[in-house]
Every structure is written in C-alpha cells, then in structure tokens.
Structure 1
Amino acid sequence: MSPDTPITAGPALQWNGYPATAATADKTAAQNVSVLIADDDLAVRRSLRQTIEAWGYTVVEAASGRQALALMAVDPNRVVLSDIDMPEGDGFDLLHEITGRYPQAGVIMVSGMSHEKIIDAAIEGGALGYVQKPFRLPELKSQLAAAVRKLQNPGRTQDLDTVKEYARLFVMTSDLHHIETGSHIRRIQKLSRHLARLAGCSDTHADLIGEAAGLHDIGKLAIPDAILKKPGPLTPEEFEIMKTHPVLGGKILEAAKDPLLKLAHVIALHHHERWDGNGYPHRLQGEACPLEARIVGIVDVYDALTERRVYKEPWPVEKVIEFFHEKRESSFDPRLVDLLLSNFAEFETIRTAEHS
C-alpha cells in the first residue's frame, strides 16, 4: 500500500499499511491545539480520532452541527474537520457560523462528494481546505498542519493588544459621554469572564468574552442624549429608540476582522435577546442566541439591578435573587441562572470590589 492509497473507516486509519502511531506525529506543531471532528458517522469519527491523536493533537467529537457549535462556544481555538451531510445543521451551516463567530478557528471540510462546485463553495465560504472521503493520510495531515499554523500565527498577540487598547478607549469615551460609567463596564467585563469560566469556557475564551463584553453597549453612542441621559423612566416611544442600540452597535462592529471585535459584534447585537424568544432585535430563542451574548446579557441585568442608577436605587439582594428565580426560563438561560445563583457570593465579591 502506498501513502496515497485511499483509506476508509475501520479500527484505525492506516499509514503505509501500518496503524498510525505517535512515531509519525509532529508533536511540536500539534502542541496545545484541539481538533474538533464533526461527523454523524461514529465509525468515521473514531477512526479519525485514533489517527489524529497519534499525531499529537487533542481531539473532541460532535455528531451534529448543533453539538459542534456548543463545543466551539466553550473553546473556539480549534481546527474543525466538518462533514457536509449532518443533522441539526449541515457542514455549510456550521462553516458559516464558525467563520462568522470564531475567526480564530480553522475549518477543513470533509466529504465523499467531489463536485467542483461544492469544493469551490466550501473554499469561498471560508474553509481552509477540503478533504475527500475516503481519506488519504498525507493530504489530511498536510491540510491539518496548515490550519494549525494559521491558529499559531505569532502576530496575533500584538494585534490583540491593539484591539484591547481600542476597547479600553471606548470605556473611557463612554465614561466621558455618560453612556455608562467606566466602573459599570469594568464590572461587566469581570463578571462576564467569571460566568464564562463557570459555564465551562476555556480560560482563553473566557478572557476574550470579558474583553469583548466591554463593548456590549457601543451602539448607545448613536442614541440621542435626551433619551440616554433622561433621569426618569422612558416613554414607550423613547424606549423603542433605546431598543435600537444593539443593531447600531452591530453596525459599528460588523466589518471587524479581529477575533475580539468579531465577538464584540455578536455580543453587542444579541445581548438583549431572551431565552423564550421575546427579546430584541431578532427574537432569538434558546441556544439560537450565542452563548457569549447570553452570558453578557445576564450579568448586565444583574449589575443594573444591584447598582444605583439615575432612575432607581439598588435592589436588595433578596429581591435580585427572587427576580432571577422568576425569570429563569423566560428571560435567561436557566443553566446560566443556576450558575449565577449557586455562586452568588462570588459575583457579589467581584461586583463590590470595583467600589473600593
């Protein structure tokens, strides 16, 4: 058998007729990189997993597009090997969601289909590569290595520092413009980071969520001061104008290419959606709203209720807890509410530390 012989799923993928082992792995390139295999065929997933783990990668599996997105929300710094024909969101749906939400990830499409139009559509949609079934290991390994290099781009750290500085400038601008106090934005960043970690996000992604959360209300820069700074309750007409700030924030950030600003775009646009689908602007229901936006949405309300505002006094802790119990399955993701309430003392410590 030559190295270019097609390989089908079985107990293990083969390399030159022998099981792929750690001896064939490029451990250095694979270090700290996770590979997500999204395929509804269990035999394919297991065979791919055994081979790719032998190359030195950490591997997780998903049997559907929906499962894959849930895993990406926890840690988006992955290379994704995605089948095209899957339940609950096919490979092209998954590609669109990942390239839109997680530009720091790399996607390689995997399929038994070899039609030129399908391959072109995958590449034009943002895929880094396309591997046809049955697999040829040299092709798979080389495309995987190329995707890893993209994730390990050494210039990203300096770029991220620049974007973080941009986010901090917005915090200062908001404070001067009296949109939100700088202390409120800093609390939202810290609280979002903490809830993200409790929700199972990796430290890296939780930190990114925390940074991006500082831009959640950037759209308020376009709201008239007469509404934004009104000391009393808004009229129904004024509230409709205020409700446009997520869309306005989305427009400000929609052309962003950097991963932090791409995530900030998602959060700014969706942090006022509700679990029951009665939020705004797009009435997204349940997990259709990105996890990052659900996290920022709940801590934004928590901070608003517990802090003094020009139009209200802070609520007592007992009333805040009762509120979240009542809204657990209507306004907010019930799992996130449970994490907030079961760790309430920790959130209070983080929130009140900003006052000292």
Structure 2
Amino acid sequence: MTSLLPKQNILIVDDTPDNLELLAQILKDEYRVRVAASGEKALQIVCSPEPPDLILLDIMMPGMSGLEVCRRLKANPDRRRIPVIFVTAMDGESDEELGLELGAVDYITKPISPPIVRARVRTHLALYDQSRELERMVRQRTRELQVTRRQIIRRLGRAAEFKDNETGNHVLRMSHYARLIAEAYGLGPEAADIILNTAPMHDIGKIGIPDTILLKPGKLDEADWRVMRQHPVMGAEIIGKHENELLETARVIALSHHEKWDGSGYPYGLAGEAIPLEGRIVAIADVFDALVSERPYKKAYSVQDSLAFMDGQAGRHFDPELLQAFRQALPEVLRIRDIYADERGALTDLEEAGKEES
C-alpha cells in the first residue's frame, strides 16, 4: 500500500558530481532528494520557504567549506534544528570531533556504504520528527496555559467589579486604554498585549476591603482611607509572586497603579521611574476612565475637563512622557470609549469586547 504521507526532503551537498549522483541514487526511492554543488547554494536552499528535513554535507569543498556551512546553519535560529550528517573522506578522530562540536548529528566516511547511509538517514529523520512533535506539543501546551491564565485574570477582574461600585465596562475600557498608551510609548505588540490582559486585575485587592468602606455612599474619612490604601497590597498578595510573565505583570500592576510620579501615592510612596512602567501606564488609563464615567458618587466629567485635569497632574500624579503618549493615542482611546460605553450594556470579558471592536 502506498503511503499517503509526503516524502521527506533530503539535501545532498558535495562539489563532486559523481558523489551527488551516488548519494541521490541511494536515497531517491525513499525520499525527495535535492542537491547542491556548493556551500553557498546549500544555504540558499536551507533558507528557502521549503527547507530540507536532513542534510548530507561534504566537508572539503572549494569556497565555503562544509564546516562553515554547518556553522552558519547552526547560527540561524529558524534552521539550526535541521540535522546535519557529514559525509567526507576526512576520517581522522579530530575531524570527526570538530564536526560534532559544530552541531552535526553524525559522521559518515567515504567510500560510503549504501546500507549505512540509508540506516543513518532513517535514524536521524526519526529523531528529528520526534523532536519536532515534542516542540509542537510544548508550544500547544504553552498556548493553552497562557489562555487559561488570561481567563483567570479576566474573571478575577470581574470579581473585583462585583465588589466595587465601578460597574459596567470600566475594566474593559481601561485595559484597552493601557494597551494604546503602551503602544504609543513605543512598547512592542507583545508587551502591549501583556498589559492589555493583566490590567483587569488592577483592583483585585478591593475584594479584601469591607463593604462598609467600599460601598460607603459619602466621603471616606481618614480611618476608612487607611484601610482602602491597603487594597494594592491585598491585590498583590491575592495574585502572588510568579515566574510567569503574565501573572507577575498582573501582580506588579495591582501593587503599583496608585503610586504617583511625585511620590505622594500609595502603598509605598514610590516616585518617578521607581514606579514600574506598567503601573504608571495603568494609572493614566484608570484615572481617565474614572473621570469621564458616571459613578454613584459623581457625574461624568467632559473629555475636555478630564484632559485639563490630567494635564495639570503631569509630573505630579502622572509620568509626563506617558501622558504625552496618552495624548497621542487619544483618538483611538475615545473610539474605544464609545464602543464599550456603559449604555450599550455590560460586556463580560476582553474576548467578547474584541468581537465588538472588530
């Protein structure tokens, strides 16, 4: 029965046509064979959109030697895992040791034995297939863990909302604002995405604040504020310290988003760049949404009045450079504000919000 799987791809590299022909004859029935008569041509094939699954590589070639081909291949992060078998007349122990040190998986000496060539190729292709399958499984499992962690972060962020009087889509809006600020400030898409997905946890510590304080209709007195100022620490303790970047960023944001640039914030009175960047970004996003949104204890301020207030807090509450980035992102911030307006009804999480945005 003929296999439905495509033939694996072997690249043979040798400057001698007879050697290329001999190896191709040995392997052509089981594999798809390509040949290269120089190191330069071999690297072109390796870096093409369809790289080989295994390379049989001569060492002694004019111009670029096989050793140099192997060295360059192993320096390429996208191609370094391709197994290389040296096929050469150099049979000294030191030659073999050097080839293996450069990253080759095996060493076949000339004159070659067809059964040995087929056996070695078959073995190392099987090992390479196993390695790629394990890497695929690890990547898939890592993605699953990241999705799970993000879902936990979002749900805990929602739990804090139920405890607080900041209902509606506040967490969704300020999370997107934080991403936009990060991008305008020059952070890359991965860093901005981490902030988007961890900002919802900024007020998780309010779970630990008594309802008599959290839901108090009037102004808080000094005793109430002493308790309220502990919610960043409580939030950091709820999340805990983690090596995982996503969860650790969530902890940092929960702990630092009420610090102020001039050192007058809480819980630790950090100032300037001693405040983590993520906390400084979320502080701007959080305050802006609070200002322009209606709350049981206040009416919504206009965008113009809110921006004037925030500008007055540059260098006091807010990092001046981040405030400039916020200003750059303002058109998109206002678009997000309209899309996720509380009047449109509460959205449950960032995934649902993403559908609305698109």
Q: Give the structure-2-normalised TM-score.
A: 0.58
Cα-to-partner distance string for 1:68-113 (whole Å, 9 max, x where unaligned): xxxxxxxxxxxxxxxxxxxxxxxxxxxxxxxxxxxxxxxxxxxxxx
1:246 aligns with 2:232: yes
Whether the aligned pair in 2 keeps the contact of 1:275 and 1:332 (CA below 8 Å) is yes
Report the Cα distance in structure 1 between the residues aligned to 2:142 and 2:79, rounded to whole angstroms.
Answer: 17
Whether the aligned pair in 1 keeps the contact of 2:239 and 2:247 (CA below 8 Å) is yes
Match of 2:124 in 1: none
Whether the aligned pair in 1 keeps the contact of 2:178 and 2:199 (CA below 8 Å) is yes
* Count of residues in correspondence between the two structures: 231
Report the Cα distance in structure 1 between the residues aligned to 2:308 and 2:215, rounded to whole angstroms.
Answer: 29
Match of 1:288 in 2: 274
2:209 alignment partner, one of 203, 223, 235: 223
2:155 alignment partner, one of 141, 144, 169: 169
What fraction of aligned residue pairs are identical, expressed as a percent? 35
1:340 alignment partner, one of 326, 351, 355: 326
Report the Cα distance in structure 1 between the residues aligned to 2:188 and 2:208, rounded to whole angstroms.
Answer: 34
1:175 deviates by 3.7
2:174 alignment partner, one of 180, 188, 200: 188
Over aligned residues, Cα RMSD in angstroms?
Answer: 3.3
Cα-to-partner distance string for 1:126-148 (whole Å, 9 max, x where unaligned): xxxxxxxxxxxx79xxxxxxxxx
1:25 alignment partner, one of 53, 75, 79: 75
2:292 alignment partner, one of 306, 310, 322: 306
Whether the aligned pair in 2 keeps the contact of 1:271 and 1:297 (CA below 8 Å) is yes
1:259 aligns with 2:240: no
Match of 2:195 in 1: 209
2:145 alignment partner, one of 152, 159, 167: 159
Cα-to-partner distance string for 1:280-315 (whole Å, 9 max, x where unaligned): 112211111111111001110111111011111111
- 3-state secondary structure, aligned to 2:206: helix
1:23 deviates by 4.7
Report the Cα distance in structure 1 between the residues aligned to 2:80 and 2:319, rounded to whole angstroms.
Answer: 35
1:30 deviates by 7.8
Partner amino acid, structure 2, of 1:309:
R
Report the Cα distance in structure 2 between the residues aligned to 1:331 and 1:29, rounded to whole angstroms.
Answer: 49
1:354 aligns with 2:330: no
Whether the aligned pair in 1 keeps the contact of 2:259 and 2:267 (CA below 8 Å) is yes
**Please, which runs of 5 or more residues in structure 2 have no aligned partner?**
1-66, 82-100, 103-133, 345-358
Whether the aligned pair in 1 keeps the contact of 2:180 and 2:326 (CA below 8 Å) is no
Please list, as runs of the form range in 1=range in 2, the aligned pairs for 1:79-228 lying within 5 A after superposition. 154=139, 155-178=141-164, 180-228=166-214
